Chains A and B, each alone.
Chain A
Amino acid sequence: MTSTRNGLSLRVARRLTGALLVLYPSAFRDEFGVAVRSLIDRDLVAAAAYGQLALLSAVVTHAWDIVLSAVSQRRARLTGRRGTMANGGDGVLAAWNAWRRDAKYGARLLAKQRTFSVVVVITLALAIGANTVIFTFANVLLVRPLPWRDQATLGWLFNIGPQAEGDKSRVSLADFEDFRASARSFSALAARRLTTVTLSGRGDAERLNTTEATANLFDVWGLQRVAGRLFRPGDDATGAAPVAVLSHQFWQRRFGGDRDIVGQTLLLDGVSHTIVGVLDPAIEVGNLATIDVYTPLTLAPGGSRRDDRQLTITGRLLPGVTPTQASAEIQTIAKRLQQEHPQTNRGWDAHVISTRQAMVGGNAWLAFTLLGLVVSFVLMIACANLANLMLSRSTERAREIAIRTALGASGRAIVRQLLIESLLLGTVGGIAGLLLAKASLVFIKSVSSEGFFKLLDIDRNVLVFVGAITLATTVAFSLMPALQLARAGVGDLLKAGTGKASGGARVRRGRAVLVVSQVALAVSLTVVGVLIVRSLIATTRIDPGFDSHNAFIFRVDVPSTRYAEPGRLLLLYEKTLAELRAIPGVSGAALTSRLPILGGDTPGPVAIDGRSVSRPADQAWAVSSAVSVDFFQTARIAMLSGRTFTRDDNASAPRAAIVNQEMAKRYWGSPAAAIGKRVSVGDTAAAAPMTIVGVVADTRPADVSLPPNPQLYVPIAQQPERSVAFFLRAVRAPALFPDVRAAVRRVDDGLALFDARTVDEALSIENSSDYVLTGMYMAFAVIALTLAAAGLYGVISYSVSQRTRELGIRVALGATASEVRSLVLVQGARLLVGGTVIGIVVGALIASTMRALLSGVSPLDPTTYFLVVGVFAVVMGVATYVPARRAVSVDPIKALRAE
């Protein structure tokens, strides 16, 4: 507990207690306010020396003291009565006894009024549970420290690509070395690259997730070792002996945590690496938890191309330098690189962002803010409901309280009694909310595969949050009725329970405002929720461009040390495809270097014959894939023009290419016009030109809401790639894995396959976080709708019970059943219409700010609004109709007689 933390808590404590002074009459405040404050301050400072818990306890004690003395002060002013000795005196011991007595009495009373208690607890549980779940999000994003040491002084360097790659594009090795040489804002810059290697020589060949990194990565990140050592300067020098650092989870999983593994060797892609150490498990957060081993970043043979962008850069900022300042410097360097290397760097900017920004992308913040707004609304609706409930209940208990007051109970005792009951309910509701949140988190984690959701947890921060929000909510909805009751004179209280005093115009108006705001909040929430659901549905309806059902995929990375000669590599592929086609049930097998939608969308420049490039914006580009002969038939991508690849398109044949419809339209005007034209990869015509032989339909990029990218396909025989995905068409796709693995083993048992699953499964994993978030919005909207309906029902039925006498008189004077009913219905309708109109406007406002989250549906989509209004009309209609019917069944004789 540092001194600044203590100072902060003290300030907060002072503000809290100071704020409560407003409960005193202003005359008292003027006269004694300063003195009270200074005494409280003295106690708070003394308590703070004993720790946070003591400070909290002091705050609670003083808050209680202020509340009680304020009540008695106000009572004394109004009734001229002094406090009595009915409570057995002051002092801590007496107070404790009084609390215990009231708690027991309150518990018994609540147990008898079961409906009321259950409704309150459920309302609290729903609202607190929802807010707790969202707080766990905030906890991970904002509150909990991440594994890097001093993450505020880390800067994350990204390229900003000229096309749809976003502002977190990776950097090339050549650019990295230029940044490292020129940048003055960092004390160190480290680079890393994600890749996979095959571990062999220790039983079954296994595919490992690897991070290749510069030797200073662990230093920059500030991580510790668990065994052995981490990288030393020089480990990544050319010609240095290959070393490897194991991740903690891999070390446990594969070697059982055996410390003797340090010093032994691992065969990675056929190269022997010496294990030098094991890394701190703290880094295993989110996607970093999947890394198995770290190896030094090595140059590919023959140097690397400046446009080969695979590196993620992290740097330790110099003291006093902010990410924004570093970003300005990096931008200048990037501009210089654009001029020095126009062929590779034209249009590529760079910037530096903070750790938090690097962890979560732009849209995620928007979604997260929206969720926060949504649960706040739910909480407000719940509080309004509870306040109304408490008001009704306190009015019902008015007689009991009046009698107690007449017998000598002080205002202090009454308030204490009521507050204790609320606290009891609040505690039960808070615990129920916590359990509900825990269950929801378990459910969310089980249906989503996104690394972020795995981080969600109930830790100490969340528990403090639950406690604080429970206390705040309880006080909010119970203080007002309690003070109101205590202030009232005995005569008022006795009258309140009957039909004579219907609560006064002010109270009725207060209730009406509460209900209208509830309905408004619920309507706006539902509008948002329905829009999001429609957006999701629109996304799933988008045609991916190929047949994703009954399809099985897996990936293979052939190490460069094996099948080095292209001819042998192609033969390997042929043999594998043949084995796969022989599996019973498989109707087609093909391969591609990049899967549609699931593969990355890294674009590369292309040079089009006869098209000159004068500005960077004119540069043609496309996403390239190398495919086997029958790929389009197997994936069922429609052929629009020309022909598909055949066996004749081999290494010795003229180079052929197929483009997609988007590319054909963009660069040649139409699919037919593209046939026969020549293109080459790279931005000069120096690379071997290819002739376009066919045009296929578009497939969607990874983010299906974006328009399709220009795509270029080449035969794998003419561009042998080592990292490929096999695509199988089979009706029994889900059960295919054992046969597939056996088939691959038959061809070469040193070949490790990975990422094996059905395409539908892969796509739903991609979309899973969207489903989770959408589900959450809808759940909150439903909760809001239920609470608002309950609120409306409560107010209407209470009003009916208060108007019993009046309605009885009307019936006696000849009003028909339907006239009585419409009286009640009209009252409800007025509240409903008012709330709905406000809610629609608010909902539309919120929707227009979240346009970025809605794809395929407009924020002002009329269908949505009609749907929401319709649903609310029905639900609220029922909520109003039931009490209206009860109003009709009022027996006029009984009503007139009731006193």
Chain B
Amino acid sequence: MLDDAPRLAPSEFQILLALIDGPMNGAAIKDEVARRTDGDVVLGPGTLYTSIKRMLDDALIGEHGPGATQRERVYRITLRGRTAATAEAKRLERIVAHARAKRLIPGPKPRTAT
């Protein structure tokens, strides 16, 4: 099932991470990502909404319903989206493990047989 999930662009992964906390509208997603990454990842409005559209088309997220105003739509993560995000997180974890194995970054040493 992990292989069925489409590969995520970094902006899409960040959006899914934000939506794990609960449904929110576009502005709130943007702010959450910026806050969480300490300003390292700033999603421009264009990038944000084109990614949202793509993810809507791929059923990674869905609409939760109208927001405070009729125009402000609120989005929520779908099961497929969760699956894709989990797969991506696990993929990144594997890459980090390789880096640790090669002593590129510190971390728990792999168990050795002694």
Q: Give the distance in Å from the alpha carbon of A39 to the alpha carbon of B9 in the complex.
A: 22
Find chain A residues with CB under 8 A from B52 CB: 32
User: B76: CB under 8 A from chain A?
Assistant: no
In the complex, are the beta carbons of B10 and A90 less than 8 A apart? yes
0 or 1 for each of B23-52: is its CB under 8 Å from A? (1 = yes): 000110010000001011111111111101
Q: Which residues of A contact B37 (CB under 8 A)?
A: 91
**Shortest distance from the beta carbon of A305 to any chain B beta carbon, whole Å:** 75
Q: Does A84 contact B (CB under 8 A)?
A: yes
What CA separation (Å) do A82 and B52 show in the bound complex? 13
B54 on interface, CB distance cutoff 8 Å: yes
Chain B residue with Cβ nearest A91: B41
Question: Looking at the complex, which of A58-66, A325-333, A638-646, A737-745 is the stretch in contact with chain B?
Answer: A58-66
A219 vs B16: C-alpha distance in the bound complex, in angstroms?
A: 69
**Which residues of chain A have C-beta atoms less than 8 A from B30's C-beta?**
39
B53 and A28 contact, CB distance less than 8 A: yes
Assess whether B50 is in contact with A82, with CB atoms less than 8 Å apart: no
A362 near B: Cβ within 8 Å?
Answer: no
Q: Which residues from 35 to 60 on chain A have a C-beta closer than 8 Å to any C-beta of chain B?
A: 35-40, 42-43
Q: Judging by beta carbons under 8 Å apart, are A69 and B44 in contact?
A: yes
**Residue ID in chain A nearest B49 by CB atoms:** A32
**Inside 8 A of B40's CB, which chain A residues have their CB?**
91-93
A90 to B11, CA, bound (A): 6
Bound complex: CA of A62 vs CA of B43, how far in Å?
10
Cβ contact within 8 Å between B54 and A76 = yes
Chain B residues 28-85 with CB under 8 Å of chain A are 30, 37, 39-50, 52-54, 71-73
Find out whether the CB atom of B10 lies under 8 angstroms from the CB atom of A36: no
Q: State the CA gap A68–B51 with chains docked (Å).
A: 12
Question: How far is the CB of A718 from the nearest CB of chain B, in Å?
Answer: 87
Instruction: Given A35-B71, A89-B10, A91-B40, check contact A73 B50 (CB 8 Å).
Output: yes
Residue in B6, B14, B48, B73 whose CB lies within 8 Å of A39? B48
Contacts of A281 in B (CB 8 A): none
Give the complex CA separation of A36 and B25 in angstroms: 12
Contact A68 B47 (CB under 8 A): yes
Is B7 part of the binding interface, using a Cβ–Cβ cutoff of 8 Å?
yes
Q: How far is the CA of A64 from the CA of B72 in the complex (A)?
A: 24
- Complex Cα gap A133–B40 (Å): 44
Cross-chain contact A65 with B26 (CB below 8 angstroms): no
Given known pairs A28-B53, A82-B9, A83-B9, the reply for A36 and B46 (CB within 8 Å) is yes
Contact B53 A32 (CB under 8 A): yes
In the bound complex, do residue A40 and residue B45 qualify as a contact, i.e. CB atoms below 8 Å apart? yes
Interface residue count on the B side (C-beta < 8 Å):
28
**What is the chain A residue whose CB lies nearest that of B26?**
A35
Which chain B residue has the least Cβ–Cβ distance from A31? Answer: B53
* A35 and B47 in contact, given A85-B10, A91-B41 (Cβ under 8 angstroms): no
Instruction: Determine the distance from Cα of A76 to Cα of B47 in the docked complex, in whole angstroms.
Output: 13
Whether A66 pairs with B6 at a CB distance below 8 angstroms is no
Whether the pair B44, A62 counts as a contact (CB closer than 8 A) is: yes
What's the tally of chain A residues with a CB closer than 8 Å to chain B?
A: 34
A729 to B37, CA, bound (A): 88
| Most central of A24, A69, A70 by chain B CB within 10 Å | A69
- Which residues from B are CB-within-8-Å of A62? 44-46
Cβ-neighbour of B45 out of A31, A39, A76 (below 8 A): A39
Contact of A65 among B45, B53, B71 (CB under 8 A): B45
Query: Given A32-B52, A69-B50, A89-B10, do A42 and B44 touch, yes or no (CB 8 Å)?
Result: no
Q: Which residue of B lies closest to A21 (CB)?
A: B46
Q: Closest CB of chain A to B44's CB: distance in Å?
A: 3
Contacts of B27 in A (CB 8 A): 38-39, 42
Bound: A84/B46 CA distance, A: 17
Closest to A88 in B: B10
One of B9, B11, B42, B45 near A92 (C-beta < 8 A): B42
Given contacts A28-B53, A39-B27, A84-B9, contact A70 B46 (CB under 8 A): yes
Residues of B within 8 A of A367 (CB): none
- Please, which residues of chain A bring their CB within 8 A of the CB of B7? 82, 84-85
Which residues of chain B are near A76, meaning CB under 8 Å?
A: 54
Query: In the complex the two chains form, is A35's CB within 8 Å of B46's CB?
Result: no
A820 to B74, CA, bound (A): 66
Tell me if B47 and A65 are in contact (CB < 8 A).
yes
User: Among residues 715 to 736 in chain A, which have CB atoms less than 8 Å away from a CB atom of chain B?
Assistant: none
Known contacts A31-B53, A39-B27, A73-B53; decide if A91 and B10 are in contact (CB<8 Å).
Answer: yes
CA A90 to CA B39, docked complex, whole Å = 12
Which residues of B have CB within 8 Å of A42? 27
Question: A68 — which chain B residues lie within 8 A by C-beta?
Answer: 46-47
Binary interface encoding of chain A residues 61-104 relative to chain B, with 1 for a CB under 8 A from any of its CBs, else 0: 11011111110110010000011110001111100000000000
- A43: B residues at CB distance < 8 A: 45
A685 adjacent to chain B (CB < 8 Å): no
Nearest chain B CB to A69's CB is how many angstroms away? 4
User: Which residues of chain A have C-beta atoms less than 8 A from B39's C-beta?
Assistant: 92
A42's nearest neighbour on chain B, judged by CB, is: B27
- A90 contact set on B, CB distance < 8 A: 9-11, 14, 41, 43, 47
- Enumerate chain A residues within 8 angstroms of B73, measured Cβ to Cβ: 35
A34 within 8 A of B: yes
Contacts of B50 in A (CB 8 A): 24, 28, 69-70, 72-73
In the assembled complex, how far is the CB of residue B114 from the closest CB belonging to chain A, in whole angstroms? 39
Tell me which residues across on chain A come within 8 A of B43, comparing CB atoms: 90
Q: Which residues of the other chain, A, contact B54 by a CB distance below 8 angstroms? A: 76, 82
Residue numbers in B under 8 Å from A28 (CB-CB):
49-50, 53
Within the assembled complex, what's the spacing in Å between the Cα atoms of A61 and B42? 11
Report B46 CB to chain A, min CB distance, Å.
4
C-alpha spacing A73/B71, complex, angstroms: 22
Q: How far is the CA of A34 from the CA of B26 in the complex (A)?
A: 11
A40 to B10, CA, bound (A): 21
Residue of B11, B39, B41, B44 most packed against chain A (CB within 10 A): B44
State A36–B30 Cα separation when bound (angstroms): 11
- A20, closest chain B residue (CB): B46
A70's nearest neighbour on chain B, judged by CB, is B46
Q: Which residue of A lies closest to B73 (CB)?
A: A35
Instruction: Kindly state the separation between the CA atoms of A67 and B50 in the bound complex, as whole angstroms.
Output: 11
Inter-chain contacts of A65 with B (CB < 8 A): 44-47
List B contacts of A67 (CB < 8 A). 46
Whether B49 lies near A36 (C-beta < 8 A) is: yes
Question: What residues of A have a CB within 8 angstroms of the CB of B14 in the complex?
Answer: 90
Q: Please, which residues of chain B bring their CB within 8 A of the CB of A37?
A: 45
**Partner pick for B71 among A34, A64, A69, CB 8 A cutoff:** A34
- By beta carbon, the residue of chain B nearest A39 is B45
CA distance A302 to B45 in the complex (A): 81
The CA of A85 and the CA of B11, in the complex, are separated in Å by 10
Bound-complex Cα distance A72 to B46 (A): 10
B6 contacts A82, CB within 8 Å? yes
- Minimum Cβ distance to chain A for residue B70 (Å): 10
Min C-beta distance of B71 to chain A, whole Å: 5
Complex Cα spacing A257 to B40, Å: 59
Q: How far is the CA of A35 from the CA of B37 in the complex (A)?
A: 23
Cβ–Cβ contact B47 & A69, under 8 A: yes
Q: Which chain A residues border B47 with CB–CB below 8 Å?
A: 65, 68-69, 90
Tell me the nearest residue of chain B to A36, going by C-beta.
B45
Across-interface contacts of A84 in B (CB, < 8 A): 7, 9
Q: Nearest CB to that of A94 among chain B residues?
A: B10
- Residue contact B42 to A39, C-beta cutoff 8 Å: no
| Chain A contacts for B11, CB-based, 8 A | 90
C-alpha gap A70/B73 in the complex (Å) = 21
B10 A39 Cβ-Cβ under 8 A? no
What separation, in Å, do the CA atoms of A692 and B18 have in the docked complex?
Answer: 104
- By a CB distance below 8 angstroms, the chain B residues around A91 are 10, 37, 40-42
Given A28-B50, A39-B48, A65-B44: 13 more A-B contacts, CB < 8 Å: A24-B50, A31-B53, A39-B45, A65-B45, A65-B47, A66-B44, A68-B47, A69-B47, A83-B9, A84-B7, A85-B9, A90-B41, A90-B43
Instruction: List the 9 shortest-distance A-B pairs measured between CB atoms, nearest first.
Output: A65-B44, A69-B46, A39-B45, A89-B10, A69-B50, A91-B41, A66-B46, A32-B49, A65-B46
**CB pairs A–B below 8 angstroms (6 shown):** A35-B26, A39-B48, A42-B27, A85-B7, A85-B9, A91-B42
